[in-house]
């Protein structure tokens, strides 16, 4: 089981755009430069968490999960095929967090509850 609290610092609240961009960059470097598969998974989680924080901060009038674990499966459904090139990393994340039965993110996007009915 992946422990998100060990990957994302409890000092990071995601409210600052610059904080989110730093975390996304840190995750990208970790994912791309590491040879260890767990380090790659953790790097990708940092990137996804940055997307989650951005989606949450812009959710003024729309419903949005308050828990990252409720968001990540939707993000994976919308983006895993395009944004996670390492098949082992992708499979670990999908096994851990699963695709939702009713996705709430459009393919290729990261904002929750933006999904069109015709997708």
Supply the pLDDT for residue 119: 46
Q: Are 96 and 44 in contact (CB under 8 A)?
A: no
Supply the pLDDT for residue 91: 97
Q: Give residue 21's pLDDT band: very low, low, confident or very high (50, 70, 90).
A: very high
pTM of the model: 0.88
Strands (E), the chain: none
Q: Give residue 59's pLDDT band: very low, low, confident or very high (50, 70, 90).
A: confident
Q: Are 75 and 82 in contact (CB under 8 A)?
A: no
Helix (H, G, I), strand (E, B) or coil at 2: coil
**Better-scored residue on pLDDT, 1 or 119:** 1
DSSP 8-state secondary structure symbol assigned to residue 16:
-
CA 74 to chain centre: 9
- Sketch the domain layout of the chain as residue ranges: 15-97
Q: Is the pLDDT of residue 118 over 60?
A: no
> pLDDT tens-digit profile of 69-93?
999 999 999 999 999 999 999 999 9
Supply the pLDDT for residue 29: 96
Supply the pLDDT for residue 94: 96
Whose CA is closest to 44, among 10, 105, 85, 99? Answer: 85
CA angle 12, 76, 42 (to 5 degrees): 45
Q: Extract long-range pairs of 8-13: CB within 8 Å, 24+ residues apart.
A: 8/45, 8/46, 8/49, 8/68
Supply the pLDDT for residue 116: 60
């Amino acid at each position: 089981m992946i422990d998100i609290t060990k990957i994302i610092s409890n000092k990071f609240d995601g409210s600052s755009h610059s904080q989110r961009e730093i975390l996304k960059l840190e995750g990208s470097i970790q994912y791309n430069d590491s040879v260890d598969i767990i380090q790659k998974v953790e790097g990708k989680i940092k990137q996804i968490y940055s997307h989650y924080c951005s989606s949450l901060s812009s959710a003024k009038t729309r419903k949005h999960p308050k828990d990252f674990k409720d968001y990540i499966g939707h993000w994976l459904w919308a983006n895993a095929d395009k944004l996670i090139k390492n098949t082992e990393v992708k499979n670990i994340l999908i096994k851990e967090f699963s695709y939702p039965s009713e996705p709430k993110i459009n393919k290729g996007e990261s904002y929750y509850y933006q999904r069109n009915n015709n997708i």
